């Protein structure tokens, strides 16, 4: 240094004064208090977790939930493994429900408008005001609610009937076209339940069933069951539409038909199937008019493609067509839905992969967008005296939101039950904030025959009150007699359960109720287990269903049930308009520079109702990787033509308006189409949501589908202009490909089969059914293992026997024996086999030997690191064929490990803190050859590049094979991050803040890091220690499957397996030894502990694309 | 008997104060949520800030001044830490003068009667007020020593249904995990870490409660020593 103070001297002084500060640090703290319970709650033991079962209400899917609480606070959400629609899994939205519970922007209590501000009210006063207003406007009131079948639905109906209120039940994604199609064709205004696990070929007409469409967790889970590679067989997903959502990216084939011609394509395929001999049923007349050649021309695809698809799709009930998706709703959307139904019908899928006897209940009977549109003039015209809003946020979620807001001004009394000050609520007069669902009692009917329970997992955070209770006491105050009045909503729910006999099996109601609470749901009728067996038992459906549940080729060979049996509903030809005469028409189609605008639902924010969850804002979008921001997706060729690159600020202009946002060149959108995601651009809703990105709905023409009343999300045309500005994008992954590094590898189906054949595995025919999946319950054993409640006995205990097995495992001869022998022999009776077989059956893993396996390191006779022969060796396997790239693991990890929310500016600088991230890599020179998703987390390398460069030994290897990061040693040099080839270490550039009460969520088992500390994945070491502590207490070893890291726990595809690589019987070892195993960047000899299983591609795989293996 | 190891290991400055829960710790560890930033009150004029002022005024303090400043600072802070801190011996006043010697010593009540979760949870558990009341005033009726003034305080807490705000004595920093059940189930006596509680009128910290002290025991008992066992 030029100033004369030597660096060395300076550091000495700094060190000395630093020590002084550290010493003084010990004495300046205030005395901490230990506050015991006065009377301890029965179920709480300090320091131990208490779990509650409840139901997720973040979107209408209603997945079952397990909530982990510590000392009376909810700290982690997980899926309920018993739930038939959650399968133990949650999406990122469900994981982030805790950020709804602890959101600092919740309305703390009842408020009433006072000038420009709010006055506090007691609940007594608030209810009195509500009752007075309802009495004053009796007969002129409207109650706008979400659709929530269950007790609350009945209560609202009762309440409305007693007080002369009109109810409008609106769900933003109400699936109006699907319902209208089923109404017209089959006379049932409903969305059927789909069973993807039974389908070899799935044809999705823009339905993002892994994200928001129907019951996304169930659909994603069952789709992986039916689709992922297993014993030589793999399913196929074809995506039809102008824009690929995350579900579309998972497709094996993308048919980018001309927007608005999806139904023409579907009908052409149906025609080809009928021509090949299938019965057309009621659709015969319609299909007779279809000219395949004309259709192919209209759709912009070749006839050969349609013929190939038809040949694949006609497989006697083992295929499935779904759609249209929300983002594919144009003014022929109902025609698309009808064409899809016809396609399913002629392929014999009704009663097999799609069941109208069981419905996605939340959309049943919901009002359409057109109904809500019709409400606006009524509000404006003064016909409505009082408007109550419970759920919807029309000022945000309607294209004519501003008109709705203005109309609200004409309504004398507006009350909102929203827990947040959203756009509609901030225009209300009276705020009656509802409890968060984790503080509430209630029930919900996600599907016909399945009733789930909602129970409070902790005492309310704020002085809110459950809307059910408010309605009950308001009705009493207004002197209105409800049909089933009860003192509290809890009693109301119980009353309904008692009345409707939801607790079956006789016996005491209270006992049954407790059992239901424990399970989280009840099933009525024989409806649940296999989805295909959904029809009532007394009809011929039973026979058909039984045939379907027969595994293997038997099912494929069994004839399609005759129409009219109740399994396959009969198409009512009378109700069917001439479909081909309903092509979508797009205004302004002639203009040369105008593009189709697709507005599609967000995986993270749903319809925008979850935009104020900090975790979800911080979570990069699965595709664009933009966080906190919106972007417009443009085909790279179009972008190039317009001179636009990633991060360029463009304006998107329609007749309705104009928005300014960054561009993201995206190969998954047609050249004549641009796409913007829903969910952002709030003008209220708290600081986490307000002013982030754009609200694309403001670009939409307020048009409704003439047949179904759905909002047309793909109807408007837009022009794009470059503003000339560029901003560093708030984006977590800047590249589309892996720069030729073979990070996400693939192999062809033939190669995968060949490898398994070499291993001597019995393979299924390439198109056959996995045995486990055919029963619909193949997932059960692994789900139980995940919960840890049903550990398989006889596993290698941790210290003693594992050492022996580790030594045995070092020899390659033992390898081959265990690898092949474990796979197929009927004589193999290891207790783990049931689990292994079920997993194989559900798609994915077959044991096989792999040479450079982690347990082979360090080589025998050498001494590297601190490995101990008496310790386990933790490792992981990730099957890329089961990863759908949904990023649920990222939020689960963030919740489990107290990972800070960094905000947009830090993400811009590449300072994201996620310990696991989902890479998406396009294959092919021009990104035309499909996408692979790859979860990237600390590889816990045995030969870790980060460890030797740490000057303070903060990064080191533990005897049980973990790459540890010791926070109290770390001085933040970042050498380790620089030396990590996987880029999975991140530094805390700031001391994180969790505004009260967000900090209530922090996991007490994990240290909260502060500024200057490097952090990374620990393989959830707190869960490892916890399992070890429990095992030691019970005087046994840790069992396989007992430790499940947060990412593996929530993965809807079951892509992640964690375990002890030294235990030759562990599930992990068997998965690792699959012929598809490889390690990322293996050539640099990091000896990582994570084995990836190559994605299986249906196309020809060139040597380069498969990584040269 | 390992219960006597405490005094042997007392730090040279005398009994140590418990580590700060939020912030502090021996090597400035990461802490829960917000932490007051570490300041260098005396070092700035002599050391750090001089770097800035040199750029402007070209004044160059001699090296010895820098070093002396640092050393003096260390001395001042060290003395301050162990003499006037609020945790100096006798500075703790518990809301109720609970005599462990009477309960655990004279009356021979097992530790786990009150600290009931020590063998199954990470936390040993602080007894609820109900546990105290269960012996002293079962069913609201005075039974055991209910006339004593300290028990009267308990009666008041129970009557008002208020928790007793005990002052924490044993406090590990947040980045160190100490699972009680693991140690209890391994057969360790409570006294090995907590000292001869049955002879203490008032609980006092007569162990250093520093990492070296933990390590000593882990070494003697030949159990795992790597950092990741406790620090994660």
CB A723, CB A649: distance < 8 Å: yes
State the pLDDT at residue A768: 46
Please tell me which residue of chain A has the smallest CA distance to B224: A959
Residues 6+ apart with CB under 8 A from A699: A597, A599, A652, A654, A656, A657, A658, A659, A676, A716, A718
CB A147, CB A171: distance < 8 Å: yes
The Cα of B106 is separated from the nearest Cα of chain A by a number of Å equal to: 25
CB A154, CB A484: distance < 8 Å: yes
The Cα of B165 is separated from the nearest Cα of chain A by a number of Å equal to: 5
The Cα of B211 is separated from the nearest Cα of chain A by a number of Å equal to: 12
Decide if pLDDT at B126 tops 60.
yes
Residues 6+ apart with CB under 8 A from A1064: A805, A808, A809, A814, A818
Decide if pLDDT at A621 tops 70.
yes
The Cα of B197 is separated from the nearest Cα of chain A by a number of Å equal to: 18
| Phi, psi dihedrals of residue A1009, rounded to the nearest 5° | -85, 160
Please tell me which residue of chain B has the smallest CA distance to A38: B129
Mutate to test the interface with B, among A23, A27, A994 (most CBs of B within 10 A): A27
CB A958, CB B228: distance < 8 Å: yes
Across the range A423-446, mean pLDDT stands at: 95
Contact B232 A1007 (CB under 8 A): yes
pLDDT tens digit sequence for A219-275: 999 999 999 998 888 999 999 999 999 999 999 999 999 888 899 999 999 999 999
pLDDT tens digit sequence for A76-117: 999 999 999 999 999 999 999 999 999 999 999 999 999 889
Residues of A in contact with B126 (CB under 8 A): 34, 36, 46
Across the range A934-961, mean pLDDT stands at: 91
pLDDT tens digit sequence for A205-216: 999 999 999 999
Contact A3 B51 (CB under 8 A): yes
Predicted ipTM of the assembly = 0.77
pLDDT tens digit sequence for A766-816: 654 443 333 333 333 333 233 233 333 333 333 333 333 333 333 322 222
DSSP letter string, A585-640: --TTTT-TT-EEEEEE-BTTTBTTTTTT-HHHHHSPPTTT-B-SS--EEE-HHHHH
Q: Is A1014 helix (H, G, I), strand (E, B) or coil?
A: strand
Confidence of residue B63 (pLDDT cuts 50, 70, 90): low
Decide if pLDDT at A1099 tops 50.
yes
Say if residue A997 is preceded by a cis peptide, omega within 30 of 0: yes
State the pLDDT at residue A833: 54
Residues of A in contact with B127 (CB under 8 A): 36
Mutate to test the interface with B, among A34, A45, A999, A1030 (most CBs of B within 10 A): A34
Decide if pLDDT at B31 tops 70.
no
Across the range A964-993, mean pLDDT stands at: 94
State the pLDDT at residue B68: 56
Three-state SS string across A826-852, please?
A: CCCCCCCHHHHHHHHHCCCCCCCCCCC
State the pLDDT at residue A964: 93
Residues of B in contact with A1033 (CB under 8 A): 119-120, 181-182, 185
Residue with tokens 């689990």: A835
Decide if pLDDT at A761 tops 70.
yes
For residue A817, the tally of other CB atoms under 10 A from its CB is 13
Confidence of residue A838 (pLDDT cuts 50, 70, 90): very low
Decide if pLDDT at A952 tops 50.
yes
Decide if pLDDT at A570 tops 50.
yes
Q: Is A11 on the interface with B (CB under 8 A)?
A: no
In this structure, of A280-294, A900-914, B178-192, the range with the lowest mean pLDDT score is A280-294
């Amino acid at each position: 240094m030029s100033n004369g103070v030597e660096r060395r001297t300076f550091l000495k002084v700094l060190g000395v004064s630093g020590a002084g500060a550290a010493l003084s640090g010990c004495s300046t703290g205030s005395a901490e208090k230990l506050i015991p319970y006065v009377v301890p709650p029965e179920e709480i033991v300090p320091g131990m977790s208490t779990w509650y079962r409840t139901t997720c209400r973040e979107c209408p899917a209603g997945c079952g939930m397990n909530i982990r609480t510590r000392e009376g606070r909810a700290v982690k959400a997980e899926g309920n493994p018993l739930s038939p629609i959650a399968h133990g899994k949650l999406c990122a939205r469900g994981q982030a429900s805790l950020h709804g519970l602890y959101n600092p922007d919740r309305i703390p209590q009842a408020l009433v408008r006072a000038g420009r501000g709010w006055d506090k009210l007691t609940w007594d006063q608030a209810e009195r005001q509500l009752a007075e207003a309802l009495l004053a406007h009796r007969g002129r009131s409207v109650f706008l609610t979400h659709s929530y079948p269950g007790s609350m639905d009945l209560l609202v109906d009762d309440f409305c009937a007693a007080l002369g209120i009109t109810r409008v039940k609106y769900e933003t994604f109400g699936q109006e076209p699907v319902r209208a199609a089923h109404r017209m064709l089959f006379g049932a205004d409903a969305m059927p339940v789909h069973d993807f696990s039974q389908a070899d070929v799935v044809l999705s007409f823009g339905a993002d069933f892994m994200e928001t469409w129907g019951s996304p967790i169930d659909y994603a889970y069952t789709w992986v069951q039916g689709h992922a590679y297993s014993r030589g067989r793999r399913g196929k997903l074809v995506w039809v539409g102008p824009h690929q959502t995350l579900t579309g990216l998972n497709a094996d084939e993308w048919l980018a038909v001309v927007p608005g011609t999806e139904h023409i394509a579907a009908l052409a395929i149906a025609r080809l199937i009928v021509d090949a001999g299938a019965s057309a049923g009621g659709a015969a007349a319609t299909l007779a008019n279809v000219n395949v050649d004309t259709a192919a021309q209209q759709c912009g695809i070749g006839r050969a493609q349609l013929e190939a698809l038809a040949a694949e799709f006609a497989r006697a009930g083992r295929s499935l067509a779904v759609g249209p998706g929300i983002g594919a709703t144009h003014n022929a959307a109902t025609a698309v839905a009808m064409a899809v139904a016809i396609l399913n019908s002629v392929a014999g899928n009704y009663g097999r992969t799609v069941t109208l006897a069981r419905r996605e209940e939340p959309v049943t009977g919901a009002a359409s967008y057109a109904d809500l549109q019709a409400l606006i003039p009524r509000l404006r015209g003064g016909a409505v005296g009082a408007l109550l809003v419970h759920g919807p946020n029309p000022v945000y979620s309607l294209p004519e939101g501003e008109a709705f807001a203005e109309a609200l001004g004409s309504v004398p009394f507006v009350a909102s039950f929203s827990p947040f000050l959203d756009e509609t609520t901030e225009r209300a007069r009276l705020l009656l904030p509802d409890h968060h669902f984790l503080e509430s009692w209630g029930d919900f009917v996600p599907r016909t025959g399945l009733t789930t329970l909602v129970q409070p997992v902790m005492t309310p955070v704020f002085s809110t009150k459950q809307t059910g209770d408010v309605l009950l006491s308001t009705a009493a105050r207004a002197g209105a007699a409800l049909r089933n009045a009860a003192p509290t909503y809890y009693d109301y729910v119980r009353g309904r359960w008692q009345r409707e006999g939801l607790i079956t099996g006789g016996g005491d109601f209270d006992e049954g109720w407790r059992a239901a609470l424990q399970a989280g749901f009840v099933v009525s009728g024989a409806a649940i287990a296999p989805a295909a067996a959904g029809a009532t038992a007394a009809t011929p459906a039973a026979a058909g269903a039984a045939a379907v549940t027969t595994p293997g080729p038997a099912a494929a060979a069994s004839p399609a049930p005759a129409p009219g049996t109740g399994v396959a509903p009969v198409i009512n030809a009378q109700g069917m308009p001439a479909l081909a005469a309903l092509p979508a028409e797009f205004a302004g189609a002639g203009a040369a520079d105008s593009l189709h605008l697709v507005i599609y639902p967000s995986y993270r924010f749903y319809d925008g109702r979850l935009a104020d969850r900090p975790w979800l804002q911080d979570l990069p979008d699965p595709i664009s990787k933009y966080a906190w921001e919106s972007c417009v997706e443009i085909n790279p060729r179009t972008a190039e033509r317009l001179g636009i690159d990633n991060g360029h600020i463009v304006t998107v202009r329609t007749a309705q308006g104009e928005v300014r946002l960054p561009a993201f060149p995206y190969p998954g959108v047609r050249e004549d189409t641009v796409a913007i995601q829903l969910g952002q651009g709030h003008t209220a809703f708290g600081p986490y949501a307000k002013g982030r990105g754009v609200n694309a709905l403001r670009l939409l023409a307020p048009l409704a589908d003439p047949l179904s009343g759905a909002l047309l999300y793909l109807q408007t045309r837009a022009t794009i202009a470059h503003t000339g500005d560029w901003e560093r994008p708030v984006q977590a992954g800047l590249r589309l490909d892996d720069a030729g590094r073979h990070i996400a590898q693939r192999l062809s189906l033939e190669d995968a089969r060949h490898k398994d054949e070499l291993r001597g595995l019995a393979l299924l025919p390439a198109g056959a059914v996995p045995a486990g999946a055919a029963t619909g319950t193949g997932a059960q054993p692994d789900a139980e293992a995940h919960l840890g409640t049903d550990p398989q006995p006889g596993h290698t205990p941790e210290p003693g026997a594992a050492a022996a097995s580790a030594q045995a495992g070092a020899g390659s001869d033992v390898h081959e024996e265990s690898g092949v022998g474990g796979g197929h022999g009927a004589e193999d009776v290891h207790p783990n086999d049931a689990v292994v077989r079920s997993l194989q059956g559900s798609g994915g893993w077959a044991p096989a030997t792999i040479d450079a396996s982690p347990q082979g390191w360090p080589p025998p006779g050498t001494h590297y690191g601190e490995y101990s022969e008496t310790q386990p060796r933790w490792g992981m396997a990730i099957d890329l064929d089961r990863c759908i790239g949904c990023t649920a693991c990222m939020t689960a990890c963030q919740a489990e490990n107290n990972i800070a929310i960094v905000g947009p500016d830090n993400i811009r600088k590449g300072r994201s803190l996620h310990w696991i991230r989902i890479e998406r890599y396009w294959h092919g020179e021009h990104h035309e050859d499909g996408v692979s998703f790859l979860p990237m987390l600390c590889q816990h390398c045995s030969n870790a590049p980060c460890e030797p460069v740490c000057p303070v030994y903060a990064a080191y290897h533990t005897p049980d094979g973990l790459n540890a990061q010791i926070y109290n040693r770390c001085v933040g040099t970042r050498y380790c991050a620089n030396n990590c080839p996987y880029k999975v270490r991140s530094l805390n550039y700031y001391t994180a803040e969790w505004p009260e009460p967000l900090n209530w969520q922090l996991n007490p088992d994990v240290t909260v890091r502060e500024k200057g500390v490097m952090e990374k994945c620990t393989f959830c070491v707190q869960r490892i220690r916890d399992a070890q502590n429990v095992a030691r207490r019970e005087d046994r070893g840790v069992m396989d499957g007992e430790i499940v890291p947060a990412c593996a726990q929530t993965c809807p595809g079951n892509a992640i397996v964690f375990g002890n690589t030294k235990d030759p019987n562990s599930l992990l070892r068997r998965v690792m030894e699959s012929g598809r195993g490889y390690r990322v960047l293996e050539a640099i000899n990091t000896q990582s502990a994570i084995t990836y299983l190559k994605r299986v591609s249906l196309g020809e795989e060139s040597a380069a694309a498969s990584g040269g293996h | 008997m390992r219960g006597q190891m405490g005094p042997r290991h007392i730090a040279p400055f005398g009994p140590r104060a418990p580590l700060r829960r939020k912030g502090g710790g021996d090597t400035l560890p990461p802490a829960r949520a917000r932490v007051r930033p570490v300041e260098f009150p005396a070092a700035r004029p002599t050391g750090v800030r001089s770097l800035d002022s040199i750029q402007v005024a070209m004044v160059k303090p001699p090296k010895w001044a820098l070093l002396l400043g640092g050393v003096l600072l260390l001395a001042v802070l060290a003395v301050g830490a162990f003499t006037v801190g609020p945790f100096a011996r006798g500075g703790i006043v518990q809301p109720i003068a609970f005599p462990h010697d009477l309960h655990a010593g004279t009356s021979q009540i097992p530790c786990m009667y009150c600290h009931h979760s020590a063998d199954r949870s990470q936390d040993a558990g602080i007894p609820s007020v109900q546990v105290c009341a269960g012996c002293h005033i079962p069913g609201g009726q005075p039974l055991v020593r209910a006339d004593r003034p300290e028990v009267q305080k308990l009666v008041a807490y129970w009557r008002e249904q208020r928790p007793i705000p005990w002052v924490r004595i044993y406090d590990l920093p947040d980045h160190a995990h100490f699972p009680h059940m693991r140690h209890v189930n391994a057969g360790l006596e409570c006294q090995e870490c907590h000292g001869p509680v049955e002879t203490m009128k008032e609980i006092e910290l007569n162990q250093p409660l520093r990492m070296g002290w933990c390590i000593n025991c882990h070494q003697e008992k030949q159990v795992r020593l790597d950092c990741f066992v406790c620090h994660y």
